[in-house]
Copies of this chain bind each other. A is one copy, B any other.
């Protein structure tokens, strides 16, 4: 019970950090659905503001979701790493996301004092189809 409450508080804290520290996350109404032990699920609700012609969500929007999802997973492991900086990201766009709510599922593969590396899969909330895959590295501040 206490554990559940602590997890709830932690997720709330991560949600606040994401919205306050990543300008695109706030703008695009990205929400943290889940974030614990280096794994997170973030929601990017469909908004025609971010689509290109044909209704396809723009690349930078997907990148913003991927980046926010990895950042959340780092925070779930080290809540003091608000200043974590993206150093490298590779993103593959597999399918055009047309008129879809999207979910970014991230997982940290390795974390050390100075670096973290993880992966994100972006899927459609509706049919779970894979939209994009990204891997990213982050620079941490040794505390």
Contacts and interface: CB of A to CB of B under 8 A. Distances in A.
Interface of A: 21-24, 49-54, 56, 58-61, 63-64, 67, 82-83, 85-96, 109-110, 117, 119, 130, 133, 135, 137
A93 B86 contact: yes
Contact of A88 (B21, B64, B88, B96): B88
A73 to B, nearest CB: 15
Kindly list the 3 A-B residue pairs having the minimum CB-CB distance in the complex, ordered from nearest.
A60-B64, A90-B90, A59-B86
A23 to B, nearest CB: 5
Contacts of A64: 60, 63
Contact of A110 (B24, B59, B88, B95): B95
